[in-house]
Amino acid sequence: MHYDIIIIGSGAGGSAAAYKLALAGKQVLLVEKGKPLPADGSTQDCRKVIRLGLFKSRETWLDAHNRTFMPEEYFN
């Protein structure tokens, strides 16, 4: 299969870009590493998502000076 565009990440930016490109007639492949969203409504509960960090990544990254940090990323 041929794709005009391959987008990695189906978050807000990736999904919006994929949608607009598909509307423009492009063949788009959208790749996501996360699991399907749960059907229990938890993704719509702002308190759980923001305050409790329900989907907050706990991954540790290294910066350009080899110091560790946790990025502000959320995964399902």
pLDDT band at 59 (very low <50, low <70, confident <90, very high): confident
Q: Where are any strands of DSSP class E within the chain?
A: 5-8, 28-31, 61-62, 68-69
Q: Is the pLDDT of residue 70 over 80?
A: yes
| DSSP secondary structure letter of residue 66 | S
Confirm if 70 and 59 have CB atoms less than 8 A apart.
yes
pLDDT attached to residue 3: 98
**Rounded Cα gap, residues 54 and 43, in angstroms:** 9
**Rounded Cα gap, residues 49 and 39, in angstroms:** 14
pLDDT band at 76 (very low <50, low <70, confident <90, very high): low
According to DSSP, the residues that pair with 45 across neighbouring strands are none
